[in-house]
A and B are shown apart, each in its own frame.
Chain A
Amino acid sequence: MIRLQDVTKVYEGGTVAARDVTLDIQKGEFVFLVGASGSGKSTLIRLMLRQEPITRGQIWVAGKDITALPNWKVPYLRRSIGTVFQDFKLLPNKTVAENVAFALEVLGRPRSVIGPQVEQVLDLVGLDDKGDRYPRQLSGGEQQRVSVARAFVNRPPILLADEPTGNLDPANSVGIMKLLDRINRTGTTIVMATHDHAIVDAMQRRVVALERGVVVRDQASGRYDAFIAGDVEAPPAIDNDAMEEIVPDQPDDLGEASA
């Protein structure tokens, strides 16, 4: 679904944010990009979205080399990728429903289609009763759920998340992760940059660790920290049941919404 080949990104001033990164992400995978601040996680996400020029290497998204994509086609690339960011990036002067509908309006969908689809996805994220609120009237966790709803409303094959839980408390973080997990189960490929140890450890998905722009570890069903074999015993994994207990009131009628 996404393939990075020798991706190198050097910013003006010589900072190397990515060095010869090669990654192959399959359709339907859930991949964590982990590493300290400045390790290059966000840069990779930005490069996949064509938000900045690449210095060297190639990135294929859904079989297309996006590094060779002409500028006028970039909007089409972004329509096939849902995005969730740490700062939510909601339009403050639009209501929750309008924010979500916006992603569909951009595609030129008729309003008769937009209305029910927005309702459905707000239902999915558990905000069906808050469609006419403004973002500032919501908690951080609720705002992030709006942004997840917006990212998913047009059912993109790929969802990129850059520190989606960075501004949230643990309970809300778990809520968002459950949402992303559910979206992933509909077949959506998810790449998530994070430095939240607990979440990575609990989810037990593929982990790609970065250090100063270099991939230092790529592990299926991994944990946040690497363990040197035989040195210490790995701490017990937190499974999804534990997450259920933290946030027991999650809506559970997502099956039909994601069908």
Chain B
Amino acid sequence: MNRLANLIREALINLRRNVLVVTGAVLAVFISLALAFGAVVVNEMLRTNIRAWQEGTHVIAFLKDVDEGGLTPEQQQELKAEVETWTEVKAPVAYVDKLGAYEEFKTWFSDRPELVESIDATVLPSSFRIELNDIDQYQAVTARLDVNPAVKEVKSLGPQIESLSTLSRVLNVLGLGLALVLGVSAVILIANTIRMAIYARRDEVSIMKLVGASNWYIRVPFVLEGLIEGLAGAVLAVLAIWIPSQNLSGATASIPLIQLTISNGFFLRWGVLLVLFGAAAGVIGSLLGLSRYLREADGGAQPGAA
């Protein structure tokens, strides 16, 4: 217990006395992990947005009026029920009658009253607003609606949504790839920084060996230092991404199209992962950096005695 207290005290004293090197190590961890974490967060934002954009109406079928050879509103309800049975279609299908279309038109163009006045409630067609289970199936649905004699015109967001999906997939791969590269460079940076810190103190290591310190006695303070540096850098990185992103989501909450709010659960999950990663990188970096100096100070293999 006493020994452990000594070792921890030793590590803390060393941290205090090597402020510059320690700051360097913490910054190295901080910058690389913050970049990696930032990439993960941006990736998650894109993913939620694209998912949000993919929700809602995918296909609109405008219906003929009765005088155009179309169906009566009652018959249109029957057609709606039929469309809802299609496997590609997510029930319920929204039905907007002619009056509803006029109201919608009025709200869209409320800032241009002359346009609203030029149109009367009977002109706009009624329509089905259809959401698909899988947007990739939009072509089958539009084709089937197109041939229906009661349908005047079919509009689909399919092509746009399809390219959005492709974009989403590409961004996913890119984002995760970037996070991976930055994560690996974080480990290398940490290992290198700690190695340099140990190089600066190699005399200390050799003196420790001289007075009979065991390898573990020498390692523990360095490993504790690496652990503390890795933890500090990782915690800073998580905070540096989390806090601004909270502010950002607050500032953009009123913008309907983009959604920059990411659940705290996501941050917590990745934050814990990142902190563990930083701690592990610090420990591994210290052990790697030390191994050479520890080996050098020992008499090594004894060929004569073998």
Q: Is the CB of A111 within 8 A of B214?
A: no
Q: How many residues of A contact B (CB 8 A)?
A: 36
Query: Which residues of B have CB within 8 Å of A83?
Result: 210-211
Contact with A along B278-306 (1 / 0, CB 8 A): 00000000000000000001111111110
Contact B212 A107 (CB under 8 A): yes
Q: Known A111-B2, A150-B211; judge A93-B17 contact (CB<8 A).
A: yes
User: How far, in whole Å, are A90 and B215 apart by their CA atoms in the complex?
Assistant: 19
Contact B302 A89 (CB under 8 A): no
By a CB distance below 8 angstroms, the chain A residues around B297 are: 51
Question: Given A93-B17, A110-B2, A111-B2, does the pair A67, B302 have CB atoms closer than 8 Å?
Answer: yes
A130 interface residue per 8 A CB criterion: no
Cβ of B6 < 8 Å from any Cβ of A?
Answer: yes
B267 to chain A, nearest CB (A): 39
Query: B208: CB under 8 A from chain A?
Result: yes
What is the distance, in angstroms, from B77's C-beta to the closest C-beta of chain A?
A: 86
A76 to B299 alpha-carbon distance, docked (Å): 13
From residue B36, how far is it (CB to closest CB) to chain A in Å? Answer: 34
**Which residues of chain B from 206 to 250 have any CB-CB distance to chain A below 8 Å in the complex?**
206-215, 217
Of B208, B209, B211, B305, chain A has the most CB atoms within 10 Å of the CB of B211
Binds B, one of A24-32, A54-62, A207-215: A54-62
Contact B211 A106 (CB under 8 A): yes
Chain B residues closer than 8 Å to A57, beta-carbon distance: 304
B204 at the interface (CB under 8 A from A): yes
Known: A50-B299, A67-B302. A78 touches B17 (CB 8 A): no
Partner of B298, one of A50, A58, A93, A150: A50
Closest to A156 in B: B212
Interface pair B305/A52, CB less than 8 Å apart = no
Say if the beta carbon of B3 comes within 8 Å of chain A: yes
Contact of B305 among A65, A71, A78, A93 (CB under 8 A): A65
What number of residue pairs across chains A and B have CB atoms under 8 A from each other? 82
Within 8 A of B (CB), among A15-74: 49-58, 65, 67-68, 71-72, 74
Q: Which residues of A contact B212 (CB under 8 A)?
A: 75-79, 103, 106-107
Main DSSP-derived SS at the A contact region = mixed
User: Does the CB pair B303–A105 fall under 8 Å?
Assistant: no
Give the shortest distance, in Å, between A118 (CB) and chain B (any CB): 13
A52 to chain B: closest CB distance in Å?
Answer: 6
Q: Nearest chain A CB to B72's CB is how many angstroms away? A: 93
Cβ of A13 under 8 Å from chain B = no
Assess whether B214 is in contact with A75, with CB atoms less than 8 Å apart.
yes
State which residues 155-213 of B face A: CB under 8 Å. 203-204, 206-213
A91 at the interface (CB under 8 A from B): yes
Interface 0/1 of A91-119, CB less than 8 Å to B: 10100000000110111101100000000
List A contacts of B217 (CB < 8 A).
75, 106
Measured CB to CB, the nearest residue on chain B to A52 is B299
| Complex contact B298–A74 (CB within 8 A) | yes
Distance A168 CA – B204 CA, assembled complex (angstroms): 23
Q: Cα distance A67–B306 when bound, in Å?
A: 9
Question: How long is the Cα–Cα vector from A49 to B17 in the complex, in angstroms?
Answer: 30
CA distance A50 to B203 in the complex (A): 17
Residue pair A53, B303 in contact (C-beta under 8 Å) = yes
Q: How far apart are B299's CB and chain A's nearest CB, in angstroms?
A: 4
Q: Give complex CA distance A111, B10 in Å.
A: 13
* Nearest A residue to B17, CB-CB: A93
- Contact across chains for B6 and A111 when beta carbons are under 8 A apart: yes
Given A53-B302, A53-B303, A71-B298, does the pair A91, B207 have CB atoms closer than 8 Å?
yes
For residue A74, which residues in chain B have a CB less than 8 angstroms away from its CB? 298-299
A53 in contact with B211 (CB, 8 Å): no
Residues of B within 8 A of A108 (CB): 2-3
Least CB separation from A98: chain B residue = B13
Q: Which 4 pairs between the two chains have the least Cβ-Cβ distance? A: A79-B212, A50-B299, A78-B212, A67-B305
Interface pairs (14), CB distance under 8 Å: A51-B297, A53-B303, A57-B304, A71-B298, A72-B215, A77-B212, A83-B211, A89-B206, A91-B203, A102-B211, A106-B213, A106-B214, A107-B212, A150-B211
